[in-house]
């Protein structure tokens, strides 16, 4: 029997029967692919949606309230989809969220009513929130702590790499065919992603980790990480995450509008800027995740926060195309430095 030491628990991975090992490995590949396709679907809207809403006659204050409603729905959705995934596995929550997302995208193409737009923004936030807790939960349950930031970074790179394609396409689609074409494209990709999920994601999220846990005795109650976790630590992590998304929410919501109204840029040009930023983020997401596993997640997380604060502060100091391009690339690089390190630090603590 296992004594519970680190080496023996790692060795337990080797005794999982090959079919079960292949199941969670296939699911890891499937979830990473679906994560990328999910960002492909949502990326079409990034350079377009704020401009489209403004052209419907919505004020800047109302636009901010709509995105705030979307973020609030995401906060509820993260808990809901994570809870559902823990109970029924990954497939059903992912498919449900993707179908809901496709319906929301189609709704944007057919309405200009402000009450309906609020409902669509709520649905947008709630449906999009499914991907992150499910993918993080799977990695936390199945990947050793020493490799988690690398895997989380690889998944983040898949998301940003896919987004770099759809952001560019979304801007040019809007310029060439109008805003409705962008919503149709997003809905089509979301439904395709649901089909890919049905084909590739086939097992409960935590099957492999349960097999390892069942191979050895449970840890002593007094040493369980969750039970000994200081409240201040959880509170600090929650505050850091909250402030991070407040900062990103303000800049990402109004950047396309700022670039169009102050910089005089088209949706296509905004798409090029966001594409270049996503490419920069794609590289940094994986490389900083890899570095976090070697230098420590806390150090890399703090580096990401410091650089993000710097580049967010200087973003509004200029409005030329080249300036916004460079600052956006640097900003996304700093975000990609923070995210895998922060997620890995949290998954190392929460079972």
Could you tell me the pLDDT band of residue 123, with boundaries at 50, 70 and 90?
Answer: very high
149 within 8 A of 95, measured Cβ to Cβ: no
How much is the average pLDDT of 251-258?
A: 78
pLDDT in the model for residue 21 = 53
pLDDT band at 111 (very low <50, low <70, confident <90, very high): confident
CA neighbor of 106 nearest in space, from 191, 176, 175: 191
For the cut 80, the answer to whether the pLDDT of residue 114 exceeds it is yes
Q: Please determine, for residue 9, whether its predicted confidence score (pLDDT) is greater than 50.
A: no
CA separation for the pair 346, 136 (Å, rounded) = 10
Q: How far apart are the first and last CA of the chain?
A: 22
Give the Å distances, CA to CA, from 146 to 332, 347, 348. 25, 11, 9
Please give the pLDDT value at position 203. 56
Output the pTM of the full model. Answer: 0.67
Grade residue 136 by pLDDT with cuts at 50, 70 and 90: confident
User: What are the residue ranges of helices labelled H in 262-320?
Assistant: 267-295, 297-314
Average pLDDT over every residue of 190-203: 86
The larger pLDDT score, comparing residue 99 to residue 176, is at: 99
Does residue 318 or residue 350 have the better pLDDT? 318
Give me the pLDDT at residue 64, please: 84
Give the range among 39-43, 112-116, 132-136, 224-228 with minimum mean pLDDT: 224-228
Lowest model confidence (mean pLDDT) among 9-18, 45-54, 189-198, 295-304:
9-18
Please report the pLDDT score of residue 227 as a whole number. Answer: 46
Q: What is the mean pLDDT of the chain?
A: 78
Pair 222, 228: CB distance under 8 Å: yes
Q: Looking at residue 80, what is its pLDDT?
A: 92
Find tokens 């004594």 and name the residue.
3
Give the tens place of pLDDT for each residue, 38-92.
888 888 888 888 888 888 888 888 888 898 898 889 889 988 998 888 888 888 9
């Amino acid at each position: 029997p296992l004594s519970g030491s680190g080496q023996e628990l790692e060795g337990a991975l080797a005794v999982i029967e090959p079919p079960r090992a292949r199941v969670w490995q296939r699911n890891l590949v499937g979830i990473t692919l679906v994560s990328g396709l999910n960002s492909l679907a949502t990326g079409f809207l990034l350079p377009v949606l704020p401009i489209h809403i403004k052209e419907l006659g919505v004020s800047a204050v109302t636009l901010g309230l709509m995105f705030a409603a979307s973020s609030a729905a995401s906060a509820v959705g993260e808990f809901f989809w994570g809870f559902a995934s823990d109970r029924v596995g990954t497939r059903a929550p992912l498919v449900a969220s993707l179908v809901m997302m496709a319906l929301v995208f189609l709704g944007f193409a057919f309405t200009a009513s402000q009450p309906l737009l609020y409902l669509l923004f709520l649905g947008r936030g709630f449906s999009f929130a499914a991907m992150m807790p499910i993918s993080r939960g799977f990695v936390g349950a199945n990947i050793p702590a020493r490799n988690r930031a690398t895997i989380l970074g690889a998944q983040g790179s898949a998301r940003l790499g896919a987004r770099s394609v759809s952001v560019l396409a979304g801007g040019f689609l809007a310029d060439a065919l109008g805003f409705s074409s962008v919503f149709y494209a997003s809905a089509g990709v979301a439904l395709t992603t649901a089909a890919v999920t049905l084909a590739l994601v086939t097992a409960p999220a935590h099957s492999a980790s349960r097999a390892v846990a069942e191979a050895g005795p449970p840890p002593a109650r007094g040493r369980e990480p969750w039970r000994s976790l200081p409240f201040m630590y959880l509170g600090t992590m929650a505050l850091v995450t909250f402030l991070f998304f407040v900062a990103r929410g303000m800049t990402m919501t109004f950047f396309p509008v700022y670039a169009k109204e102050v910089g005089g840029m088209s949706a296509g040009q905004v798409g090029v800027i966001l594409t270049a930023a996503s490419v920069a983020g794609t590289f940094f997401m994986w490389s900083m995740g890899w570095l976090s596993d070697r230098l420590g997640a806390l150090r890399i997380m703090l580096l990401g926060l410091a650089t993000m604060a710097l580049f967010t502060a200087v973003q509004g100091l200029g409005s030329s195309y080249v300036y916004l391009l460079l600052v956006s690339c640097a900003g996304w690089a700093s975000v990609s430095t923070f995210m895998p390190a922060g997620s890995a630090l949290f998954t190392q603590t929460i079972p």
